[in-house]
């Protein structure tokens, strides 16, 4: 989690983004590595992020090389709550986990994780647990 927070602080007041790599278990997902990516929304980076298809392919390739799965994505909400916006929902893919960190005045605050429902109507929250050996704890 520290690495996600650090990325959000580094890019503040712009949004950061990156890929979540790890293992998809029956009852939980374990994020074992992160791939920080550049926010490609040069026109409005303070309240939008974009990961291009080329970067998605890079994330998929990185996951294959590490023998793990591309589980989802993280991004920051500078000076805004860590909850998915309508814009997030409208642009979300199912199955992926979406971690959002709120960065208030340059400091990381709440962190949440969400997954889009099958009918695209809303997100389901996912609980987050930081493990001693996980990528986020590095």
Partner 1 sequence: MAVKVMIPTPLRTYAGKQESVDLQAGTVGEALSALTTKFVELKKHLYSDDGRLRSFVNVYVNDEDIRYLQKDQTRVKEGDTISIVPSIAGGTPPEEHSHRN
What residue ranges bind partner 1 (CB under 8 A)? 13, 15, 17, 41, 44, 47-53, 56-57, 60, 69-70, 73, 75, 77-81, 84-88, 91-96, 98, 104-105, 118-120
- Min dist CB 118 to partner 1, Å, is 8
Looking at beta carbons only, is 60 or 137 nearer to partner 1?
A: 60
- Give the Cα separation of 70 and 62 in Å (integer): 9
Evaluate the CA torsion angle 64, 68, 69, 72 in order and state its sign. negative
Radius of gyration of the chain (CA): 14
Smallest gap from residue 15 Cβ to partner 1 (A): 6
Cα(33)–Cα(11) distance, rounded to whole angstroms? 20
* Residue closer to partner 1 (CB basis): 2 or 91: 91
Tell me the closest approach of the beta carbon of residue 19 to partner 1, in angstroms: 9
C-beta closer to partner 1: residue 25 or 53: 53
Residue number with CB closer to partner 1 (3 or 40): 40
CB of 77 to partner 1, least distance (A): 5
DSSP-derived secondary structure letter, 120: S
- In the chain the first and final C-alpha atoms are separated, in Å, by 8
Cα–Cα distance measured from residue 25 to residue 32, given in angstroms and rounded to the nearest whole number: 13
């Amino acid at each position: 989690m520290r690495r996600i927070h650090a990325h959000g602080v580094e890019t503040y007041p712009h949004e950061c983004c990156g890929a979540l790599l790890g293992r998809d278990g029956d009852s939980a997902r374990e994020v074992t590595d992160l791939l920080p990516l550049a926010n490609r929304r040069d026109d409005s980076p303070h309240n939008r992020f974009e990961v291009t298809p080329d970067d998605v392919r890079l994330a998929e390739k990185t996951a294959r090389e590490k023998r793990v799965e591309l589980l989802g994505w993280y991004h920051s909400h500078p000076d805004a709550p860590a909850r998915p916006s309508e814009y997030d929902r409208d642009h979300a893919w199912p199955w992926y986990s979406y971690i959002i960190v709120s960065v208030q005045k340059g400091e990381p605050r709440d962190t949440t994780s969400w997954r889009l429902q099958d009918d695209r109507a809303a997100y389901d929250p996912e609980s987050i647990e930081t493990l001693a050996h996980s990528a986020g704890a590095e």
